Copies of this chain bind each other. A is one copy, B any other.
């Protein structure tokens, strides 16, 4: 089902019915990936565009000494490498964190999609958002405390999962390990663990086993200085005139 993709794109720009039909037709069922598998590996060339239908993944870079930095999360509806076929080699890898369904579109499919004005605009927006997320992460790493960093990531995932219907108003299922969180915010697992404890202690999050609940979303957002404007979703654009 390509509903997540449509939900995400429509959160960025409204789509006429024909465009949604076209999307359904083009996306299909997708390929299944096991947890841990690479969607596209660092240094690979790809001439297809990968789209997450189901499951969660991340973008990463590996350093010479084996350390890893996660540079983005992939959730249902996300286009992994809209630009990819232009590049000779991917400058970062993408991996499935959970089992995933991933569609692979070829250049013709993409041309078909981008020849529709509304779709082209939605896709273009999605790339702008990707860049905006990177900028926000940079601020997060450079200038926030460990617990605020973790909180900020949680807020972002909450909003992004809400858009595709995978989170309620105040909770979502989190399969992120603390090691992955650490590789995301530039901390060790020990520090992430202690940051989570501080958040729990402050009553900002409720449990971090197999699903996390945020008792007071506004409080967590305030603590993390989270402003969803950078995600450029329509609902947030309209809120602020």
A29, CB-defined interface residue at 8 Å: no
Are B139 and A61 neighbours in the complex by a CB distance under 8 Å? yes
Are A83 and B128 neighbours in the complex by a CB distance under 8 Å? yes
Shortest A190–chain B CB gap in Å is 16
Chain B contacts of A67 at CB under 8 A? 143
Q: Give how many copies assemble into the complex.
A: 2
Give the secondary structure class of A's interface: helix
A124–B92 Cα distance when bound, in Å, is 18
Are B87 and A128 neighbours in the complex by a CB distance under 8 Å? yes
Are A138 and B71 neighbours in the complex by a CB distance under 8 Å? yes
Are B185 and A142 neighbours in the complex by a CB distance under 8 Å? yes
Are B131 and A69 neighbours in the complex by a CB distance under 8 Å? no
Chain B contacts of A240 at CB under 8 A? 89
A225, CB-defined interface residue at 8 Å: yes
The proximity string for A residues 186-205 relative to B, scoring 1 for CB distances below 8 Å and 0 otherwise, is 10000000000000000000
